[in-house]
Amino acid sequence: MGAGHAHVLHQERDTPVHRLPPEVKVVAMVVFTLAVVATPREAFWAFGGYALLVVAVAALARVGARWLLLRTTIELPFVLFAFVLPFLGAGERVELAGLSLSVDGLYGGWNILAKGTLGVLASLLLAATTTSRDLILGLDRLRCPQVLTQIASFMLRYLEVLVGEARRMRVARLSRGDDPRFLWQLRGFAAGVGALFLRAFERGERVYLAMLSRGYAGRMPAVWQGAGAADAGQWAVAAVVPVLAVGIAAAALVLT
């Protein structure tokens, strides 16, 4: 339990973006995403501006384009839905390459694709430049409810333990001739999931009792919030991208 925990998406770098406190990066990402969502879908130029901001931050943080593109595949189901919309949409239609496509469906598909991709890229940049522990710390400094931050903190801390437990249970099943590929063995798989839940619940009870015995009173120590909190200068630096994004969104709303 004393070993460090791997951060799947975090990239260890020494860049100005990495050095920013987590709370300012969280706020910047949220404001940027809200600006993107608020932009009219017809303002194509605005999405180009957002893309330039994402590229600038990625270059400053030294996060590679290949790394980002590989991980944007998480939005693949939404991309497929966006490509289907032009065929399913109603209203005015247009001929393109011999296909009859809905104009409203084309706009809707573009809207999902552009906004979804920009949101995923912004989230990936946040994850690449901030460790999981720092993300939770940033949320705590932003006065996110302590119940949520503590649950997230314990989930990250014990996730590897539960994954290891599930792996050992699977090996034990396989060594006894069980093969989860067969449909009729779903009952054994369900029983294993139930056993894993019970073990996780019992482990959580033991951890909670151990915390109570060490003086836990419903809140984490305040000392872990204060050190390294953002100052006015760091807030100003982090505000550059969201302010530009809000300006683009406002211009798009006025001009469209």
Specify the pLDDT at position 34.
96
Q: Are residues 177 and 68 in the same domain?
A: no
Residue 52 within a domain = yes
CA-to-CA dists, residue 140 to 31, 149, 156, 183, 225, angstroms: 18, 6, 15, 45, 7
Contact 111, 41 (CB under 8 A): yes
Compute the average pLDDT of residues 112-121: 92
Specify the pLDDT at position 252.
93
Residue 9 within a domain = no
Q: Which domain holds residue 195?
A: 145-217
Q: Is the pLDDT of residue 220 over 70?
A: no
Q: Is the pLDDT of residue 4 over 50?
A: no
Q: Are residues 47 and 106 in the same domain?
A: yes
14: which 2 tokens? 């020494």
Q: Which residue has the higher pLDDT, 244 or 166?
A: 244
Q: Are residues 24 and 75 in the same domain?
A: yes
The 10s digit of each residue's pLDDT in 187-208 is 767 777 788 888 888 887 888 7
Q: Are residues 22 and 91 in the same domain?
A: yes
Q: Are residues 92 and 189 in the same domain?
A: no
Secondary structure (DSSP) of 129-159: HS-HHHHHHHHHHTT--HHHHHHHHHHHHHH
Q: Is the pLDDT of residue 210 over 70?
A: yes
Residue 4 within a domain = no
Specify the pLDDT at position 29.
94
Q: Which residue has the higher pLDDT, 79 or 111?
A: 111
Q: Which residue has the higher pLDDT, 126 or 144?
A: 126
Residue 223 within a domain = no
Specify the pLDDT at position 179.
66
Q: Are residues 181 and 131 in the same domain?
A: no
Q: Are residues 189 and 247 in the same domain?
A: no
Residue 224 within a domain = no
pTM over 0.85: no
Q: Is the pLDDT of residue 222 over 50?
A: yes
Where do we find the tokens 């683009």? 248
Residue 49 within a domain = yes
The 10s digit of each residue's pLDDT in 60-94 is 999 999 999 888 888 888 888 888 877 777 777 77
Residue 194 within a domain = yes
Q: Are residues 133 and 203 in the same domain?
A: no
Q: Are residues 36 and 77 in the same domain?
A: yes
Lowest mean pLDDT among 10-24, 41-55, 202-216: 202-216
Q: Which residue has the higher pLDDT, 6 or 66?
A: 66
Residue 191 within a domain = yes
Give the C-alpha separation, 84 to 82, whole Å: 5
Q: Residue 139 carries which side chain, given as an amino acid letter?
A: L
Domain count, the chain: 2
Compute the average pLDDT of residues 16-41: 93
**Averaged confidence pLDDT in the chain:** 82
Q: Are residues 65 and 99 in the same domain?
A: yes
Q: Is the pLDDT of residue 31 over 90?
A: yes
Bridge partners of 100, per DSSP, are 95
Q: Are residues 38 and 124 in the same domain?
A: yes
Q: Are residues 34 and 131 in the same domain?
A: yes
